[in-house]
Amino acid sequence: MLRRFDVHRATTVAEAVQLRGLFGEDAAVYAGGTELLLAMKMGIARWPHLIDVKTIAPLRQISATNDTLRIGATATHWDIERDAAVLRALPALARLEANVANVRVRAAGTLAGNLAFAEPHADPPAMLIALGARVILEGKGGPRSLAVADLITGMYETAIGADEIIVAIEIPLPAKDARAAYVKFQILERPSVGVAAVATLRDGRFSGAPTVVVGAADEVPRVVPTAQFAGADAHDAPTREAIAEAARRAVEPLADLAGGVEYKRHLVGVFTQRAIDALVTQAT
Amino acid sequence: MGRREIHLRLNGGDRRVEVEDQTLLIELVRGVGLIGTKLSCDMQVCGACTVLLDGRPVSSCTTLAIEADGKPVETIEGLADGAKLHPLQEAFIERFAFQCGYCTPGIIVTAKALLDADPEPGAERVRQWMEGNICRCTGYQTIVDAVLDAAEQLRSAR
């Protein structure tokens, strides 16, 4: 049961931006509704107006060029996990999307909505940050681009302006010989800990430093400092343990129903090692 | 805005229903007498309220009814052909894949979406697809077995 509200179906980005300006704090942007309607049902949030952006047809497009994958704001996890361009250009993202929450959430929920809600227990942000993804926002002042790492500013907090909506996510495609992996530990529909890793390996060694980002454990995703591991042997047990230790030190885990602080910190180490394992065993 | 009339194709029949913007899809289907769809967790975790919207499984407890405008909706009541049960329903009986039965409509509807898209799923695929449907009575082995049996039945019937 939901309290009364009005849904306004925008048909263009300009109209959605205008509605944002008109209703201000009284409106929320509505796409999949998987987070928004849940929060409203639980009484955590109440908006008298919802601005539906699913009715803006071009926002559902997914396309890839030689160097960028562009995912429209209303593309659902379901769309992304089976999209030919995603499967070809970034299979690690397709795999991640195929394991978000459950099949019903994937059928309705959008990647942009996942970012906009900034629920800490989420899969995509860690991987998107590891890949250097950016969101394209549009507001009264026109479009702007913001790194996902700068978009998520806290638990349920983002840098999206009061008159802005996300129109797309742009992901620079990693180099041809780069590898990307995401591993997680999950009970029910949200991850307790998720680790994304991106690296290029040459003769078993990291070419440059590996990128490791820990998601879900902390209030925001944490980029693990890995500069010292540039050129290190990816198969070397002490190196892997040192990266795991760096990851454990990089997070301040949230204690919640998924586990306590020390337990989650332990999981962060274990899953960082597994993410490196996944890179090493992956064919390029 | 506010109140609107929507047109949907509900279990194969055209239907006009007046809903409010905040009306949930589960309120719509149960409101027209299709009470096979069950409300349980009310937070899209358990899968008991699953219906197919445009062929995709969704939690009707967390989907607005207005989303069904112009689209097909299928509930558990839409599976049987008169008195003839759907192969999934037969397989669940054959395998004793339910006890109290409360989660069963959502589980069968979710499985139907899988078999519609992928007529030859392996056991792992079934498990991964169904992991968002919770049963607190039976354990899951008989459910997976029933879905695999039904898949085989549907393939041999074609």
Q: What is the CATH number of the domain that holds A18?
A: 3.30.43.10
Predicted confidence at residue A253, as pLDDT, reads 97
Could B132 and A103 be called an inter-chain contact, meaning their C-beta atoms sit closer than 8 Å?
yes
B131 chain-A contacts, CB cut-off 8 A: 102
Q: What is the distance between the alpha carbons of residues A37 and B60, in angstroms, rounded to a whole number? A: 11
- Window 85-104 of A: residues touching B by CB (8 A cutoff) are 99, 101-104
Instruction: Answer yes or no: do A65 and A121 share one domain.
Output: yes
> In this structure, are B70 and B93 located in the same domain?
no
**Do residues B97 and B61 share a domain?**
no
Token pair 């990647």 in the structure block, residue? A111
Please identify every stretch of chain A with a pLDDT value under 50, giving residue numbers as ranges.
none
Q: Which domain holds residue B25?
A: 3-76
Q: Name the residue with tokens 């395998």.
A: B95
In whole angstroms, give the CA distance from residue A67 to residue B14. Answer: 46
Q: How many domains does chain A have?
A: 3
Tokens 């002042």 sit at which residue?
A141
The Cα–Cα gap between A220 and A214 comes to 9
pLDDT of residue A170: 98
Buried b (16+ CB within 10 A) or exposed e, A120-131: bbbbbbbbbbbb
- Segment B82-121, tens digit of pLDDT: 999 999 999 999 999 999 999 999 999 999 999 999 999 9
d(CA A207, CA B24): 52
Nearest chain A residue (CA) to B55:
A107
Q: Are residues B66 and B106 in the same domain?
A: no
Kindly state whether residues B56 and B32 are assigned to the same domain. Answer: yes
Domain membership of residue B28 (yes or no) is yes
* C-beta atoms of A103 and B62 within 8 A: no
β-bridge pairing A49-52 and A6-9: parallel
Answer whether residue A214 is part of any domain: yes
Which amino acid does the sequence have at B140?
A: Y
Do B53 and B98 lie in one domain? The reply is no
Residues B22 and B50 in one domain: yes
Is residue A72 within 8 Å of residue A86, measured between CB atoms? Answer: no
Decide if B54 contacts B71 (C-beta within 8 A). yes
The answer to whether residues A83 and A123 belong to one domain is: yes
A5 and B59 within 8 Å at the Cβ level: the answer is: no
Say yes or no: A134 and A202 in one domain: no
B49 and B95 both lie in a single domain: no
Q: Identify whether B102 is part of a domain.
A: yes
Q: How high is the pLDDT of residue A165?
A: 98
Question: Which of helix, strand or coil describes residue A73?
Answer: coil
What's residue B2's pLDDT? 79
Cα gap B57→B41, rounded to integer Å: 16
Number of Cβ within 10 Å of residue A190's Cβ equals: 21
Is the ipTM of this structure higher than 0.95?
Answer: yes
Closest residue on chain B to A32 (Cα)? B63
> 3-class SS at A255?
coil
Gap from B43 CA to chain A (nearest CA, Å): 6
Q: Are residue A198 and residue A229 in the same domain, yes or no?
A: yes
A3/B22 touch (CB, cutoff 8 Å), yes or no: yes
Last residue of a domain, one of B51, B76, B101: B76
pLDDT, mean over chain B? 96
Q: According to the model, what pLDDT value does residue B158 have?
A: 80
Residue A192 CA: distances (Å) to CA of A121, A130, A157, A180, B22 = 7, 18, 19, 20, 32
* Domain annotation covers residue A1: no
Q: For residue A10, give the amino acid letter.
A: A
CATH label of the domain that carries residue B17 = 3.10.20.30
Q: A251 and A187 in one domain?
A: yes
**How far off is chain A from B57, nearest CA to CA, in Å?**
5
Residue A141 lies in a domain: yes
The answer to whether B103 and B135 have CB atoms below 8 angstroms apart is yes
Domain that holds residue A211: 178-281
Last residue of a domain, one of B26, B57, B76: B76
Rounded CA separation A242/B79 (Å): 56
Q: What tokens does A151 get?
A: 């978009």
What is residue A187's predicted lDDT score, i.e. its pLDDT? 86
**Across the interface, which of B1, B21, B58 has its CB nearest the CB of A107?**
B58
In a domain, B81, yes or no: no
Chain A residues 159-178 with a CB less than 8 Å from chain B: none
Strand partners, A64: A69
Among A172, A206, A233, where does a domain finish? A172
- Per-residue pLDDT at B138 exceeds 90: no
Tell me the sheet residues that pair with A142.
A139
Last residue of some domain: B76, B106, B132? B76
Give the CATH number of the domain where residue B136 resides. Answer: 1.10.150.120
| B71 & B126 share domain | no
Q: Is the dihedral of CA B1, B2, B7, B9 positive or negative?
A: positive
**Nearest CA-CA partner of A128 in A243, A213, A32, A227:** A213
Nearest CA in chain A to B117: A82
Burial of B115 (0-12, 13-18, 19+ CB in 10 A): buried
On whether residue B133 sits in a domain, the answer given is yes
Q: Which two tokens stand for residue A34?
A: 């998987």
Distance of alpha carbon B151 from alpha carbon B145, whole angstroms: 10
Q: Which of A152, A172, A192 is the last residue of a domain?
A: A172
Whether residue A41 and residue B45 make contact (CB cut-off 8 A), yes or no, is: no
pLDDT of residue B1: 64
Beta bridge partners of B8: B15
| Count of domains forming chain B | 2
Six token digits for residue A150: 């700068």
Report yes or no on A27 lying in a domain.
yes
Residues A28 and A116 in one domain: no
